[in-house]
Amino acid sequence: MKFDTAIFDLDGTILNTLADLRDSVNFALVKNGLPERSTEEIRSFVGNGIRLLIERAVPESTECDVVDKCFLDFKEHYKFNSDNKTKPYNGVTELLKELKKSGIKLALVSNKADFAVQGLVNKYFPDIFGFVTGEKDNIRRKPCPDSVFAAMEYLGSDRNNTVYIGDSEVDIETSKNSRIACVAVTWGFRDKDILIGLNPEYIVDTPEQITEIMK
Q: What is the pLDDT of residues 96-139, one digit of tens each?
A: 999 999 999 999 999 998 999 999 999 999 999 999 999 988 88
What pLDDT, on a 0 to 100 scale, did the predictor assign at position 1? 58
The pLDDT mean for the chain works out to 96
Pairwise CA distance, residues 32 & 35, whole Å: 9
Would you call the peptide bond into 88 cis, given omega within 30 degrees of 0 as the criterion? no
R_g of the chain computed on alpha carbons: 17
What pLDDT, on a 0 to 100 scale, did the predictor assign at position 196? 96
Residue 188: name the closest of 9, 1, 12, 8 by CA: 12
Q: Using an 8 Å Cβ cutoff, are 140 and 103 in contact?
A: no
What pLDDT, on a 0 to 100 scale, did the predictor assign at position 2? 85
Instruction: Summarize the confidence of residues 195-199 as an average pLDDT.
Output: 96
Beta-strand runs (E) in 136-214? 162-166, 181-185, 202-204
Alpha-carbon dihedral angle through residues 106, 108, 109, 113, given to the nearest 10 degrees: -160
CATH, domain range 18-81? 1.10.150.240
Residue 20 has pLDDT above 80, yes or no: yes
Instruction: Summarize the confidence of residues 56-74 as an average pLDDT.
Output: 96
Which residues make up the CATH 3.40.50.1000 domain(s) of the chain? 5-16+87-214
What pLDDT, on a 0 to 100 scale, did the predictor assign at position 49? 87
Query: Which pTM does this prediction carry?
Result: 0.93
What pLDDT, on a 0 to 100 scale, did the predictor assign at position 92? 98
Which residues make up the CATH 1.10.150.240 domain(s) of the chain? 18-81
CATH, domain range 5-16+87-214? 3.40.50.1000
Alpha-carbon dihedral angle through residues 137, 37, 184, 88, given to the nearest 10 degrees: 80
Share in percent of the chain as helix, strand, coil (round to 5):
50, 15, 35
pLDDT band for position 69 (cuts 50, 70, 90): very high
